[in-house]
Amino acid sequence: MRILIDTNVILDILQKREPFFADSYRALRKAIEDDAECLLCASAVTDIFYMLRKALGSAQKAKEQIERLAQLVSFADVQGMDIHAALMRAMPDFEDAVVDVVAERNGAGCILTRNIRDFAGSVVPAILPADFLSR
């Protein structure tokens, strides 16, 4: 199974954001233990790096976190056709529409996110970390 991990779940884990850390961490760990291929939109990595650099106060420390992340997930490229397809999606948030398109193109069974409201109308079902844990 393939799972696309949304940016907010990754940041919950890397920044230990409460009260979300535990469920996000356990959901990613469960996915890895279940041999799911965990995908992350390549376009999200720059946003993650930016947030980590600000939080950690160091570009080097942020790069080290990204290197660790790269050992756990595969990066799913965002292609030009994905942008065009996302523009056609009836979703309230464009960035989430891009995530949905990339998840669909890569055969993901679900999108692991804390923000399922913005994935209303997505082709690939969005699931909260807590709900993923109870599956």
Task: Please tell us whether the domain made up of 2-133 is placed in CATH 3.40.50.1010.
Answer: yes
- Provide the pLDDT for residue 135: 83
- Provide the pLDDT for residue 102: 98
Nearest partner of 115 among 134, 93, 90, judged by Cα: 93
Q: Which residue numbers in the chain have pLDDT < 50?
A: none
Quick one: CA torsion of 99, 95, 117, 75, rounded to 10 degrees? 30
Measure the CA–CA gap between 38 and 52, rounded to whole angstroms: 20
- Provide the pLDDT for residue 92: 87
Q: What is the pTM of this model?
A: 0.93
Q: How many CB atoms lie within 10 A of CB 7?
A: 21
Q: Enumerate the domain spans of the chain.
A: 2-133
Tokens, residue 56: 């950690």
